[in-house]
Chain A
Amino acid sequence: MMPPAEGQNTREITCIICPLGCTLRVLLKGEGVIKVEGNRCQRGIIYAQGEVKPRRTLITVVKVYGGELPVVSVKTSKPIPKDLIPEAMKVISRVSVKAPVKAGDVIVENLLGLGTDVIATRDVKAV
């Protein structure tokens, strides 16, 4: 790959689409992908584009009181920007929900104003 010109930078990431795990070299200008190298199929290019501003589904537990178990497993309804995860975890750590909880219940609405909810993924019966 040519050395990056001004305003450009390169990033190296591992593609996760198939077991080959190609090492992709992505040439970026700002947030735009200029070129992808190292991929062995087209899906790698799409993956690289997605990873410019990577998003992840956040999975954790939330404290429950009055339930048969002390925590309920949760996930974000949509992937959120990866770099906001530490902030999101802080917010979630302060939440405590009263049993009963049903899978699908919204535990935190509009997390960090991102338009995504934190929803329960299992039931917790009240005791």
Chain B
Amino acid sequence: MRREPIRVAIIGAGIIGASISRVLSMFEDFEVILVEKEADVGWGVSKANTGIIHAGYDDEPELYPLRAKLCVRGNEIWRKWADELDIPVRWCGSLALAFNEDEVNILKTLLSRGLRNGVSGLKIVEAEDIKALEPNASRDAVAALWAPTAGQISPWDAVIALVENSVANGVKLYLSTEVKGIRIKDGKILGLETNRGFLRADWVINASGIYADKIAEMVGIRGYRIRPRKGEYIIFDKEAEPKVTRVLFPTPTPISKGVVVTTTVDGNLMIGPSAEDLNEDLREERSNTKSGLDYVWASASKLVDRLPSKSMIIRFFAGLRPEPTGGDFIVRGYDEVYGFIDAAGMRSPGLTAAPAVAHMVSEILRSLIDRELKRKDSWNPYRKRMIRFSELTHSERSALISKDPRYGRIVCVDEMVTEMEVIEAIKRGATTIDGIKFRTRACMGKCQGSSCMHKIALILSRELGIPLWRVSVKGPGTEIGIGDIKVLFEEGDQCGRCRET
């Protein structure tokens, strides 16, 4: 007899929630819904971090057992996932630079810790060999910890890929759906109270990032708090030189891995993050500050022979990391509440650990419902990313244009993004300017949207059938206009109001 599938609601479509949804979608036993409060996926912690897949030597297993174990495991799984899901990743390796004897000793500690954690290929390299690995590394570095298994990924590409694959495998995505409460009856979870109605669920997995503790409170769990830690970043134009080929770290401190110098998968030099612990109630504080950016610049300068000119900076931004009480990931079920699993406190190395966290959650769920899971025969591990016109050769582009003439219309000049790509991004779920931006790279060039945003908006207006002014950057409240150009005359039209009364 076929059993009713268990309805699992995952709160948060960031890297953790999306990874969990992919893994759970493998099994016939689950009907998975992925619930996200923003208008698109990955807009919380996931879109504003360094995008590094860490090797796994940073986390001391005695202090942070989950971080230590799941980082290394996640690093391994990403190789398979990035391939299956067609996510661009640079397996470039990382160098942690030491500038004095004390730091070299710390690197030696990290080396042995890494070996204990199961990291392969780690070794300490002397000054002469650093340049061979990274020509732009600071010549003042006396030694470095070389971790060839580290990588650089685009975190939002990863989330988008995971969600596309999950949905293709039966997961239902609920966007613009904010969880206001969790309904429990007789100690059993009934479902989610949201701003768009009640969603029935037997199991709730909390992957809500910065707000994880607030969600946990809804079922009476108060064992941890999340404290936001802000990190500021600076991004350079793609043509800015010199770049770096490896991910460059300073020698880490117990508190933070430090300011990084890296080249993103898309070819932009990026430096950051700073690390500023914020007050618990500042969950949306992502402003860039002079002290934060100065700190990033000064710290990054130490790692390289030189940074490009400041005139080549195209953007600065900031992200929040969810620092949990105790510092380690919180991945567990609770005796007190049957039907609730936390996947919280996913600070660094959260992105790296995500696939391993997902498998761990799946295993926790399996053991709590006490049954053997049946894999779907039809489960498809593969997903293809969108064509990037800018990555093709002239003749490849020409061939593409012959297939569909709309590939010939360039809407974002800096990043060479075509109308067809914008339309494809809309097909794949984008309903906002940022949704297009993260799927196509439009608005990510020098102009930061000042030339192309309105062209993207025109296409969204046409394809979604909404007036141009209603097109939004990132959901309700961020529309690009307040009405048509004469709207303020309508409001003040006394005659109009009188006529209505």
Q: List residues of chain A with CB under 8 Å of any chain B CB.
A: 61, 63, 70-71, 89-90, 93-94
Contacts and interface: CB of A to CB of B under 8 A. Distances in A.
Contacts of B486: 63, 93
B484 interface: yes
A61 B485 contact: yes
B48 to A, nearest CB: 36
Interface residues of B, number: 5
12 contacts: A61-B485, A63-B484, A63-B485, A63-B486, A70-B484, A71-B485, A89-B489, A90-B489, A93-B486, A93-B489, A93-B490, A94-B489
Given A90-B489, A93-B490, 6 more contacts: A63-B484, A63-B485, A63-B486, A70-B484, A71-B485, A93-B486
Interface in B125-151: none
Contacts of A90: 489
Contacts of A70: 484
The 9 closest A-B pairs by CB, nearest first: A93-B489, A93-B486, A90-B489, A61-B485, A63-B486, A71-B485, A63-B484, A89-B489, A70-B484
A93 B495 CA distance: 14
Nearest to B490: A93
A86 B489 CA distance: 10
A54 B231 CA distance: 55
Contacts of B490: 93
Contacts of B485: 61, 63, 71
A87 to B, nearest CB: 11
Nearest to B492: A90
Contacts of A94: 489
Nearest to A93: B489
Interface in B437-488: 484-486
A89 B485 CA distance: 12
B481 to A, nearest CB: 12
Nearest to A91: B489
B491 to A, nearest CB: 11
A74 to B, nearest CB: 12
Q: Which of A63, A71, A89, A93 has the most CB of B within 10 A?
A: A93
Contacts of A71: 485
Contacts of B484: 63, 70
Q: Which of B485, B486, B489, B490 has the most CB of A within 10 A?
A: B486
A70 B484 CA distance: 9
Contacts of A61: 485
A54 B8 CA distance: 71
Nearest to A96: B486
Interface string B290-327: 00000000000000000000000000000000000000
A26 to B, nearest CB: 34
A63 B489 CA distance: 13
B17 to A, nearest CB: 41
Nearest to B467: A70
Nearest to A70: B484
Nearest to A63: B486
B92 to A, nearest CB: 48
B462 to A, nearest CB: 13
A90 B488 CA distance: 10
A75 B489 CA distance: 19
A94 to B, nearest CB: 7
